[in-house]
Structure 1
Amino acid sequence: MPWEAYSGLLNIAGTWMYEAELPVGLYETMAFVATTDRLLVFDTTNQETRETIRPEGGEPISTLTRGERNRAAPPVVTEGASPLVLAPFLIRQAGVGTQAARDSAELVATDAKTGKVAWRLSLPLPDWAKGAPEPLTASVVGAAGNVAVVTLAHKGTVFTNASTTYAIDLTGRRVLWSQETFRAATIAGGVVVGEKKKTASDDYSTSAGYDLTTGAERWQGQEHINLELRPAGPNLLHLYARDRGDYRIVYRRFLDARTGEVRQNDVPAASRCRQDGASVVVCWGRDQVVGVDATTGAPLWQLPDEKAGRIAPQVTTVWHGRVYAKTANGTVALDSRTGADLPTPPVIAPDLLNAFTGIAISNSGDDMTAYQSAS
């Protein structure tokens, strides 16, 4: 794989240094590798970079050189007969005459089948981002139907609450609506779900859902401190937060992302959750793995299991009823419904997988390799 896919993300032990997502999107045998200043269209069948796509509205605010950490969010590949690959860039437009230089975001939509740019859309930065003391991030949270969701936010630690979310009409190529001080986390059942603040400097935040096409508020939860939201399958949201009145009280819940209704309380902590493509969501983090029902969030199995003498593996991805993972004994695959070890271990534990291609850390531990998926 191109070095941009893993630059600054692997440690000397051949494992991930951060919990960041792999900055890659897959469409059949094509891998779309994002950085803050370019999108590579990489053919995994012949190791050829077919296109290098850059923003055209101005110069990228930040660039990536080899060895630096790639902070780009993964591009999003839309579904349907004419799939697009969506990647945003933060750019600086040069001043002309009396017009001062200004920053903006440029959303680039690439045809997933051809690797050619289909269209571009400029997004003006919100007022809070102008002259901001910390660098910005731009990410495509997801897409459903003909609408995509883009979030701009600070990546620093002083003003981490500042964020704006945009809903983009992919057919009309325009902004449908935007919401200030709202950081989107996922899309579920026609609802954009994320963290909402009253103001950018507010210490408290709530989980909230907005209609995907109109931006109308659909629901809003209670105010919390240290709120963290993670998508957990098609309709669930994993919530971690502390009580506003008593910091010692911790909430860990599965919410119905469409309504905000609490599905399960006291769920395991998780840094990542993935649906298995059927009826199970697998969540992992902090040396534990749990499988839950994708509809209700009810637990199905959990590792480690001391009674059975089983440890928690290091999960890499979940796909088509299988949990791919690593242990000190080698790679393993688990049945996502039962958590049982499958009889034949996989050759690799992929970090990203579709029906055509799997991408995994190489045996050397210092780069990444694309493999043909087993039929």
Structure 2
Amino acid sequence: MLKAAKQALDKVITKSRIHFYKPIQIAEILYRDRTFGDIDLGNLETYRTKSKAWRDEVCIALLGRISTSSAKFQDDLFNAIPPQFIVELGKFNREHNGAIESYIYNKFIGKYIQLNNALDYCLNTDKASFEISHFINLFWYEAGLKRSLDKVYEIITHSLFDTLAQTLELSITLSINQDKLNILKEFEDFAKSVMCLDSNNLFTTQKARIYRVGVTNAADRGLDMYANWGVAIQIKHLSLDNELAESIVSHIQSDRIIIVCKEAEKSIILSLLTQIGWRNKIQSIITESHLIAWYEKAMRGKYANLLGDKLLEALCLEITEEFPSVKELPEILKERHYENIKDEF
């Protein structure tokens, strides 16, 4: 049973993204059981909810953030590692003075050593030598980081798109048909609150911007980015096929969708654009090769002096916000002296 429990734990560790929320939750359940002994590992209800708070306390110290995934997504942990496995893990952990806790946090530190190498490349490379393909590969070829590649794609895409929009000084004008002034007057409070328009201001102009929807670990097919001129943007670090494209289109309510993906066959693109009902939905499909070419232009092209440093600064800022640097364990974990544990799991 212990072997099966370890396999289940290792699978969760392998599948975890860089923030490691689920493995940390298991570590904190085992720590609570070992040090306080006030939970019954065989009875999930004694720790299902409480363990989220224990996890969050450590995550705040480690990462400066907590999980924002849905309760259902978080509870999937106990399908992957059910109570009967946690009982076995707890028994071994108690008998070996926290060996499994140490094992989990050592895996966490190992993943962050890989991450810091990737972050250092971004932070310490200038526009003359920065290669976006190399940066992507630092995540693509590291097993510990590959699960977070979708977020890297989002950041790479958003940094480029928004930097170009700002540098081009794009603006959006919203106006009302003057033949509809009678309706405007009827709903003037609505127009003023929602559109910043009223009888005395029949048009408004604002800067064009592209926004990321938010930072979350929830596995979904929802919207990743949107532009304030009406475009919805979906990021996939996978190669595009018909099934993936159909799922994107069906899950985003927008008439103009841009798909950013690793690669796409020309035949698939043509198929998507010609199918009934999809022709007007997919505005464009952008692949990794497009991103690499545009980064090359921005960093070393004709307008590199205008764009290069600005784009690299935006990229570094978003990367450090998404992936906090972890140089060493915080005091909350140092006090446990995991370094003294010699028993292997």
TM range (shorter): under 0.3
TM-score (norm 2): 0.23
TM-score (norm 1): 0.22
Bigger Rg, which one: 2
More strand by share: 1
More helix by share: 2
